[in-house]
Structure 1
Amino acid sequence: MLLNVSYNDKKIIQKINDAVGKPYPLKDRFAMGGIGSPKLHVTEASVDIYNLFVLDNNTNTCNVEMRPNGIIVRFRSRLETYGLVIPYYKLNMYKGDIGIYSIYMDHYFVKVRADTKAIQRYFKKLMDHRTENLPTNLEDL
């Protein structure tokens, strides 16, 4: 689900926490070696996200935050911050031939350039975390 996360709205925070879990405590973040990605340059996006990107003239960048049950892809448009909340069971990721990672959920997608080793290590860590925390039964959803 694509949400405007600019403001501290309890209803939106509750929706995010229900979908992907609460944020990791500081101790766990250090133990995991960080939960956030470096700055990712967006090369292509779905229509809904692209329409937000064209509202300003800034470079199209995003970052990814890991949560216990999913990820949040955050990006800015004008003065607003948007988050694409993706539970692990809906997350599809592909690595392209020329260093492009594609993140899909339903009809939303974001393609980012993986031009540094740090970005490639982060996506490897993300996929490992996903396999450890992916629900195995339908009752777990």
Structure 2
Amino acid sequence: MLFNTSHANKEYTRASAEILGDTYSLLEKIKLGGVGSGRFVISQLSAKLQPKNMEVVSVNYANIELRPKGIIVHFTNKLDRYSWIIPYYRLVIYNAQTFSIHANGHFIKFSKNKNYQDNRAFIDKMIDTKNDFLNLGYYDG
């Protein structure tokens, strides 16, 4: 689900808490070592995720927020901020020439540049959190 979160959005707040659970408490955030990624450079958005007023800018950035039952991908376009809610059971991650996140037939691709390298530990944490939530112990390496 994609929401414009440039301003307070009650529907987004309700949906994110209902689908992904409440935000982590301060103590949980400290135990996890943080629940937000650094900036990723967006290389491509699927057509359904592109805002109607999408402006071609040289660089668009996104960041990812962990929640107990999923993630939220936040990205900007001009002065607007958008948030894409993805529950873990719909989250698919590909790590090939680009790093990409897929859900419900939509995707966002990120460049594998310095920002990606800086976020490697966060990506591993996101995958581990997903596997723990879904009880996917057979993926442990």
TM over 0.5: yes
| Structure 2 unaligned regions, length at least 5 | 137-141
Alpha carbons of 1:106 and 1:94: their partners in 2 closer, same or farther (altered >3 Å)?
same
| Structure 1 unaligned regions, length at least 5 | 137-141
* Map of 1:139 onto structure 2: none
SS in 1 for 2:119: helix
Give the aligned residue type for 1:49: L
State the Cα distance separating 1:91 from its structure 2 match: 0.4
SS in 1 for 2:118: helix
Detail structure 1 runs of 4+ shifted over 4 Å in the superposition.
Answer: none
Q: Superposed, which structure 2 residues align to 1:71-110 within 5 Å? A: 71-96=71-96, 98=97, 100-110=98-108
Report which stretch shifted further, 57-66 or 82-91.
57-66
Task: Give the alignment's TM-score, normalised by structure 2.
Answer: 0.85
Identity of aligned residues (%): 28
Q: What is the distance in 2 between the residues matched to 1:3 and 1:77?
A: 13
Residues 1:59 and 2:59 are matched in the alignment = yes
State the Cα distance separating 1:51 from its structure 2 match: 4.6
SS in 2 for 1:62: strand
SS in 1 for 2:18: helix
Report which stretch shifted further, 62-71 or 107-116.
107-116
Count of aligned residue pairs for this structure pair: 134
SS in 2 for 1:104: strand
State the Cα distance separating 1:53 from its structure 2 match: 7.6
Give the aligned residue type for 1:108: H
CA contact (8 A) 1:114 1:120 kept: no
Q: Superposed, which structure 2 residues align to 1:8-87 within 5 Å? A: 8-51=8-51, 54-55=54-55, 57=57, 59-87=59-87
Give the aligned residue type for 1:111: K
Match of 2:111 among 110, 113, 120: 113
Residue by residue over 1:70-115, the C-alpha shift from the partner in whole angstroms, topping out at 9 and shown as x without a partner, is: 000001112221001000000000110x3x2110011210011233
CA contact (8 A) 1:24 1:67 kept: yes
State the Cα distance separating 1:50 from its structure 2 match: 3.5
Give the aligned residue type for 1:61: Y
Q: What is the distance in 2 between the residues matched to 1:80 and 1:9?
A: 13
Q: What is the distance in 1 between the residues matched to 2:120 and 2:95?
A: 10
Note the aligned Cα RMSD (angstroms): 1.9
* Map of 2:128 onto structure 1: 128
